[in-house]
């Protein structure tokens, strides 16, 4: 059993989100040495391995995280591995898991090959011109709760609760009268890029000719494009303790409900249904009094640990993606 509290230090932690679609027929053989390396370097988080590639988020001392990245890149198949970095004052994970999966981001459509058949990358500097074209259908492939706190102006929200619902939306919208009927030019975007690689491969497999996706995702756009030239509105939900970010990747305006893991803006935080660590407007009324009492006790223990200068393992769990793999 892991301890319920661990001492904190003033040192910051490096958090890295990474992914690559690449053929890994031996992915099961990589699990044990990768797990052992992360454990030895004090690195925690979640890494997913599948025959189609690698995906995950890890955090730890900078020297440890860099050692893991360096080890991965000793394998020539990972030379194109992409990653994004952020620093955190607290360790956002309390254990390390390397898991073998069917897919590194679950769409549930067999036979797709994003490593060879993804759409055309569009750099952030060229993205505005693309989505301003009247003949281009712009689609936000993220989930509804992510879209709810920010998106590109004019983008279509498929209203999905999980990425696995996206193929059904494509099928419905490809029918006569749908926004994808007659196979128009399509521009797609997501947080970091991985879901777009798979969704563009899906459309190309169905005969769409012009399919584009934002290189580096929303995060790269917000990092690159100045606010006065931006088409982005709101915050971008992220799957770590920052919860959301804005232009320049500055901290956003959202906190996380520690009960249901939904992002909460100023309006939700001001709601009478919000009680820190216990409930929010989204999950109000969904738990028994006994369950709420247990959550209230957890929140009390978290606050006591902070007062003692310690970190409670329930305090900084990473933001959930509602059962999906990390982006």
Nearest Cα residue to 320 out of 141, 57, 60: 57
- Residue holding tokens 């494509």? 170
Q: What SS3 class is residue 59?
A: strand
Give the sheet arrangement for strand 13-21, strand by strand: 82-88, 13-21, 53-60, 44-50, 96-100
The CA distance from 214 to 118, in Å, is 12
To the nearest 10°, report the CA torsion of 84, 85, 89, 91: 60
The CA distance from 138 to 215, in Å, is 14
Return the CA Rg of the chain. 20
The residues with which 84 forms a beta bridge, in sequence order, are: 17
Helix axes 166-173, 194-205, angle to 10 degrees: 40
Nearest Cα residue to 99 out of 28, 16, 22: 28
Longest dimension (CA), the chain: 62
Nearest Cα residue to 186 out of 92, 91, 276, 120: 120
From residue 128, how far is each of 87, 110, 166, 250, 313 by CA, in Å? 29, 33, 24, 21, 42
Name the burial class of residue 119, with classes exposed (0-12), middle (13-18) and buried (19+) by CB atoms within 10 angstroms of its CB: buried
Active-site annotation holder among 190, 236, 257, 260? 190
Q: 275-302 burial, b for 16+ CB within 10 Å, e for fewer? A: bbbbbbbbbbeebeeeebeebbebbebb
The answer to whether residue 190 is catalytic is yes
Residues carrying an active site annotation: 190
């Amino acid at each position: 059993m892991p301890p319920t509290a661990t001492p904190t230090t003033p040192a910051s932690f490096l958090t890295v989100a990474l992914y690559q679609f690449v053929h890994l027929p031996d992915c099961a053989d990589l699990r044990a040495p990768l797990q052992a390396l992360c454990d030895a370097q004090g690195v925690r988080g979640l890494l997913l391995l599948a025959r189609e590639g690698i995906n995950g988020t890890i955090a730890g001392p900078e020297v440890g995280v860099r050692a893991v990245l360096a080890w991965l890149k000793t394998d020539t198949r990972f030379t194109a591995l992409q990653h994004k970095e952020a620093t955190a004052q607290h360790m956002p994970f309390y254990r390390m898991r390397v898991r073998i999966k069917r897919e590194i981001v679950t769409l549930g459509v067999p036979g797709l090959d994003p490593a060879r058949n993804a759409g055309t990358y569009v750099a952030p500097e060229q993205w505005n011109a693309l989505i301003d074209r009247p003949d281009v259908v712009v689609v936000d492939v993220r989930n509804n709760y992510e879209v709810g706190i920010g998106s590109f102006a004019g983008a279509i929200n498929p209203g999905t609760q999980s990425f696995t619902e996206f193929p059904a939306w494509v099928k419905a919208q490809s029918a006569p009268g749908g926004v994808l009927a007659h196979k128009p030019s399509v521009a797609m975007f997501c947080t970091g890029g991985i879901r777009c690689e798979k969704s563009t491969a899906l459309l190309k497999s169905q005969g769409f000719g012009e399919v584009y996706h934002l290189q580096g995702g929303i995060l790269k756009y917000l990092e690159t494009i100045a606010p006065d030239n931006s088409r982005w509105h709101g915050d971008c939900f992220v799957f770590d303790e920052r919860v959301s970010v804005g232009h320049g990747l500055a901290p956003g305006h959202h906190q996380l409900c520690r009960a249901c893991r939904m992002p909460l803006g100023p309006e939700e935080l001001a709601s009478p249904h919000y009680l820190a660590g216990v409930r929010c407007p989204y999950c109000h009324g969904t738990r028994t009094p006994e369950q709420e009492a247990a959550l209230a006790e957890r929140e009390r223990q978290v606050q006591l640990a902070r007062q003692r200068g310690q970190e409670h393992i329930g305090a900084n769990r990473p933001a959930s993606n509602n059962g999906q793999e990390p982006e």
